[in-house]
Structure 1
Amino acid sequence: MTIQMDRDSLNAFLRSEFPQVPFISVDTVARENVVVRLSVRDEHLRPGGTVSGPTMFGLADVAIYLAILARIGPVALAVTTNASIDFMRKPEAGRDLLAECRILKLGRVLAVGEALIYSEGGEEPVARCSMTYSIPPTRG
């Protein structure tokens, strides 16, 4: 797959179009995958000091979206149409989360992606997510 947006252009797009997530950034973009970071803040924690499920779901959603944009370019209106997430273990306290994403299928109107979420420095994923996105038709 060809890369249409690199790390800097994805981060600029994220800041411009989604200023509500200043704690999310793209670490790397490669042909095979995209790695997106969530800088964990106090508001992401649930009782017991672990990162909340909704926070991990949000990271996966943004990360897979950005992995799709890395391939198709800046299409702001691509939307999630299906999602499934498995929470497998407790994230390690005090560490950022990293979502390693890959695109499983990239069609004309649908894209399917997968994210494995890790605590930074951890070897075992804390969550696994798959999502399908609808890509709006291009007008020309």
Structure 2
Amino acid sequence: MSTDAFPYLTRLNVLYSCGEVIDVPALVAANRHPWYNQTLCQVNESVVRLGVVEGEYHWHKHDAEDEFFYVVSGRFLIDLEERVVDLGPGQAFVVHKGLLHRPRAPEKTVVLMVEAAGIVPTGDK
């Protein structure tokens, strides 16, 4: 599933190499899109992504990969079929592979995500 079919700004290119300083506040300040996702760097077989989000993502799942979300600022909700996970700054959550979920942010929220380098953020078919 391509990220092009969705109203999100998803950049899968690795923005920083090992040894470079990553200025997260500058990236957050420069962003104006309501659902921005940028791959910051690769760490072994995983990538670290920055999300600057507000609003709702769609329901989706990743059949073979877990996703880690860490809230830097704001409020981040992860809807699961059985419950809602409500995260604030300094809190994190792992969505287990194969679990249907929908991320939401009722206000401008900054999250860091760690996931497999090959994962498609919009989910599997």
Q: Same fold (TM over 0.5)?
A: no
Q: Name the structure with the higher helix share.
A: 1
Higher Rg: 1
Q: Name the structure with the higher strand share.
A: 2
